[in-house]
Chains A and B, each alone.
Chain A
Amino acid sequence: DAMVIQNPRYQVTQFGKPVTLSCSQTLNHNVMYWYQQKSSQAPKLLFHYYDKDFNNEADTPDNFQSRRPNTSFCFLDIRSPGLGDAAMYLCATSTRTGVETQYFGPGTRLLVL
């Protein structure tokens, strides 16, 4: 089945130690998104790629970076995780921005010790 896959499902890292979360999709969608969802809060968009064009949200901290080496894969890099970065990280895809439905992966729960 076509889907959005996130690995790992759970990630534990140490304060200040760089960590990378990955997302892959078999939907061949143009757009890939990364959201941060903290406990009991709404998902918050960090950035998205439209093909190779990177679009950062104005309030996304510099500590968060992303790479999209090809259509299928997108990575979220947290350069120096702090305790406040512990959250669920959701990847989503869509055929284009705007009106299109977004398809979400299962998320990666990040724990920072």
Chain B
Amino acid sequence: AQSVSQHNHHVILSEAASLELGCNYSYGGTVNLFWYVQYPGQHLQLLLKYFSGDPLVKGIKGFEAEFIKSKFSFNLRKPSVQWSDTAEYFCAVNAVSAGNKLTFGGGTRVLVKP
């Protein structure tokens, strides 16, 4: 079945460490890719998105993601995390082949230790 996979369910790291969260999808054809973040007690917010053009996308709060079409991946990165980056991160894919609906990965809970 077509899906969106996030490799890590939980990540624990210290402040100033680098973060990379994996996301792979299995849809063919045209896709639009998103990373959403959910801080504790808050609603889902858009971090960044890719529709076309430069495959390296920069988002808010120092996050970036790289679309690698050949690998069906859209990994999220941040060079140096802060305690305030503690949150749950969701990758989401909108695919024309899937009826243009947004399909979420299972999420990755990130805990940044001060």
**Residue A90 at the chain B interface, CB threshold 8 Å:** yes
Smallest Cβ distance from A21 to chain B, in angstroms? Answer: 15
A-B contact number at CB 8 A:
48
Are the CB atoms of B34 and A101 closer together than 8 Å?
A: yes
Main secondary structure of the interface of A (DSSP, over half): loop
Instruction: Find chain A residues with CB under 8 A from B44 CB.
Output: 43, 90, 92, 104
Residue in contact with A101 in the complex, picked from B49, B96, B103, B106, CB distance below 8 Å: B49
B106, A97: Cβ atoms closer than 8 Å: no
Q: How far apart are the CA atoms of A41 and B105 in the complex, in Å? A: 8
A103-B105 Cα distance, complex, nearest whole Å: 17
| B32, A40: Cβ atoms closer than 8 Å | no
**Is B51 a contact partner of A99 (Cβ separation < 8 A)?**
yes
| In the complex, B74 has a CB within 8 A of chain A | no
Q: Kindly provide the distance from the CB of A9 to the nearest chain B CB, expressed in whole angstroms.
A: 10
Which residues of chain A (55-113) have a CB below 8 Å from chain B?
Answer: 57, 90, 92, 97-99, 101-107
Is B102 among interface residues, defined by CB-CB distance under 8 A?
Answer: yes
Query: What residues of chain B lie closer than 8 Å to A44, measured between beta carbons?
Result: 104
Does A2 sit within 8 A of B, measured CB to CB?
Answer: no
> Which B residues from 83 to 103 make CB contacts under 8 A with A?
90, 94, 96, 100-103
In whole angstroms, how far apart are the Cα atoms of A40 and B44 in the complex? Answer: 14
CB closest residue in chain A, given B91: A42
Cβ-defined contact, A102 with B102, below 8 A: yes
Across the interface, which residues of B come within 8 angstroms of A57, CB to CB?
101
Q: Is B43 an interface residue (CB 8 A)?
A: yes
Q: Report the bound CA distance from A43 to B102 in whole Å.
A: 10
CB neighbours of B36 from chain A (8 A) = 104
What chain B residues lie within 8 Å of A19 (beta carbons)?
none
A98 CB contacts on chain B under 8 angstroms: 32, 94, 96, 100
Complex CA distance for A104 and B49, rounded to whole angstroms: 15
Q: Which residue of A lies closest to B42 (CB)?
A: A106
Question: Measuring CB to CB, which residues of chain B are less than 8 angstroms from any residue of chain A?
Answer: 4, 9, 32, 34, 36, 42-46, 49, 51, 90, 94, 96, 100-107
